[in-house]
């Protein structure tokens, strides 16, 4: 595993996870989880993860809850949200507080996401 940027993607939709991995693994080292807990576990095991991208609506723990939890131990990671929802007051607030650096909307725009990752890392 060379010098590819390690990216964690969390989404409860199996197809989303699969396709993300397929499309981005060429350029990034992609790890995936299907909920917040899995995400936290992966973060614990892979301290070299630089970027975390999470879906917003997931069972038990939503994207922002997961990210807030993750930031308690891994404040140095760059966090993003990728969601089917339009911007909500919650997301706006997270953006303003720099909890997430950006939010992407589904259907994803590959170039947008790539650009953002390269920009922050």
Among 99, 105, 116, 120, interactor with another protein by CB under 8 A: 105
Choice between 43 and 63, CB closer to another protein: 63
The residue from 32, 54, 62, 83 that contacts another protein (CB under 8 A) is 83
Interface residue with another protein among 41, 46, 57, 93 (CB under 8 A) is: 57
Residues 17, 94: Cα–Cα separation, whole Å: 23
Q: Considering only CA atoms, which of 103, 84, 86 is closest in space to residue 95?
A: 103
Which one of 2, 3, 15, 59 is in contact with another protein (CB under 8 A)?
15
Is residue 9 near another protein by the rule CB under 8 A? no
Q: Could you give the 3-state DSSP secondary structure of residue 116?
A: helix
Q: Which two tokens stand for residue 67?
A: 């990210």
Nearer to another protein, 26 or 98 (CB): 26
For residues 79 and 70, what is the distance between their CA atoms, to the nearest angstrom?
9
């Amino acid at each position: 595993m060379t010098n590819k940027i390690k990216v964690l993607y969390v989404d409860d939709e199996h197809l989303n996870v699969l396709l993300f991995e397929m499309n981005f693994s060429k350029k990034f080292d992609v790890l995936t989880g299907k909920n917040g807990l899995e995400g936290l576990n992966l973060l614990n095991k892979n301290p070299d993860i630089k970027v975390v991208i999470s879906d917003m609506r997931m069972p038990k723990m939503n994207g922002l809850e997961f990210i807030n939890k993750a930031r308690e131990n891994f404040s140095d990671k760059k966090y993003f949200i990728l969601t089917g929802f339009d911007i909500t007051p919650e997301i706006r607030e997270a953006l303003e507080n720099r909890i997430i650096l950006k939010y992407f909307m589904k259907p994803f725009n590959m170039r947008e996401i790539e650009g953002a990752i390269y920009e922050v890392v």
